[in-house]
């Protein structure tokens, strides 16, 4: 059974930084795409950033220039470096992975931006 395990969330002050990690286990396949989403209380889940197996990346307009997604396709691991965080970015951040034949979500990690 494929599982995604996220880590790195926590409490950070406005303007601060956090680095999230997501590691996949239980599969011998390499991911096609891995993405980060977030869901704030009372809001819909939104895509934050994504990376393909070839290293192509995409970002939501709201995080461009502040967030960086990177990954290790050989290790099925993806990272999200988040800088200059804002209070409105408080949310549960979810990892998503697309493997050949199936897709899987992580359970999420809480990010709280507050002074």
Query: Can you say whether residue 101 is alpha, beta or left, with left for phi > 0 and alpha for psi between -120 and 50 degrees?
Result: left
Cα–Cα dist 79/51, whole Å: 10
Average pLDDT over residues 81-86: 98
27-82 confidence digits (pLDDT tens)? 888 999 999 999 999 999 999 999 999 999 999 999 999 999 999 888 899 999 99
16-25 confidence digits (pLDDT tens)? 999 999 999 8
- Residue 109: exposed, middle, or buried by beta-carbon count in 10 A (0-12, 13-18, 19+)? buried
103-112 confidence digits (pLDDT tens)? 999 999 999 9
């Amino acid at each position: 059974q494929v599982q995604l395990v996220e880590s790195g969330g926590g409490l950070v002050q406005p303007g601060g930084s956090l680095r999230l990690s997501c590691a996949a286990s239980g599969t011998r396949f390499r991911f096609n795409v891995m993405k980060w989403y977030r869901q704030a209380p009372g809001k819909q889940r939104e895509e934050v950033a994504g990376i393909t197996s070839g290293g192509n990346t995409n970002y939501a307009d709201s995080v461009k220039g502040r967030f960086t997604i990177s990954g290790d396709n050989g290790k099925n691991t993806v990272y999200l470096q988040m800088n200059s965080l804002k209070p409105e970015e408080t949310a549960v951040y979810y990892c998503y992975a697309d493997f050949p034949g199936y897709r899987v979500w992580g359970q999420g990690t809480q990010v709280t931006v507050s002074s």
